[in-house]
Chains A and B, each alone.
Chain A
Amino acid sequence: MKTIAELQALRDEMKGKVGVRREGEYRTKILVGMATCGIAAGARPVLAECVKEIETRKLKDVYVGQTGCIGICQFEPVVEIYDEDGTKTTYVHMTADKVPKVIAQHVVNGSPVVEYTIGANAN
């Protein structure tokens, strides 16, 4: 049985290492559409995979969050990535399998995965 007392050890371990970031301080923001349409289409495993990839790669300056329905339900699950300069890339029909490639190629190396974007899937 896991107890919350174990968290104290974690806190001691983290002491001095944690800089609490506010939302505006991230280099990249990843937003997963989590409205009814997104969830029904499979957004939850996509979000979980994003969080897992950020953990695995220890990307401290990347924010993962949710957004609502942006009106393109037929393209869900939708993931929007905002780069540091404010550029937005919209990825559509996302699956957990596609996430590692997007994180590696776009978030880490700065080169969007064109074939998953809305532009490449509009028809």
Chain B
Amino acid sequence: MMQELSMNVLDVAQNSVRAGATLIEITVDEQPARDEITIVIADNGCGMTPEQVQSVTDPFFTTRTTRKVGLGVPFFKLAAEITGGSFDIQSQVGKGTAVTAKFVRSSIDRMPLGDMNETIISLIACNETLDFLYTRRFGADELVLDTREFRAQLGDVPLTEPKVAKFIREFLQENTAELLAGHENE
């Protein structure tokens, strides 16, 4: 079992990587007034048939051949439902997949969000040819990281170049701190 929601996000996003996506959109939307956290992981990968969508929440279904269980999606679903929230997968073959998990923010059973920035950094570091659009929202404020915009600025300098990787880390950390500043008591 995962200890943090950010770990679930890292895990579920791997499914998008394997689905051959070129763009993965990750949104973490925290709305204290509605007592809600919504996490969406959407991709433009190969998508799934309605039958596959039915079966991915079954831990004994996996497309992998290395072992017979697939726990990533079931863990994430459980993490949402245990708080009184909800879980949904929309998918279309050839178009992509969107996984949405809604959490009751104040639930005692809600896992901490954890370090989302580290999850995004790991995804970018390991998938240098893929693009990521990360949105972190808190109330009415948001921070957006779009690797396509980063690439446009960088020309042929890759995102994995150490100085760029350091910039991405600082960009996320500083802008997240700014986003959350003043909301400590909410």
Q: Which A residues are closer than 8 A to B by beta carbons? A: 1-2, 4-8, 10-11, 13-14, 18, 20, 32, 34-36, 39-40, 44-45, 47-48, 51, 54-55, 58, 64-66, 68-71, 73
Contacts and interface: CB of A to CB of B under 8 A. Distances in A.
A82 B174 CA distance: 35
Contacts of A13: 163
Given A39-B7, A40-B2, A68-B66, 20 more contacts: A2-B170, A2-B174, A5-B153, A7-B154, A7-B164, A8-B153, A10-B154, A18-B156, A20-B158, A32-B126, A34-B122, A35-B14, A39-B11, A44-B118, A48-B122, A55-B166, A66-B14, A69-B64, A70-B66, A71-B67
A113 B155 CA distance: 39
Interface residues of B, number: 41
Contact of B11 (A36, A54, A70): A36
A65 B129 CA distance: 12
A45 B64 CA distance: 25
Contacts, number: 97
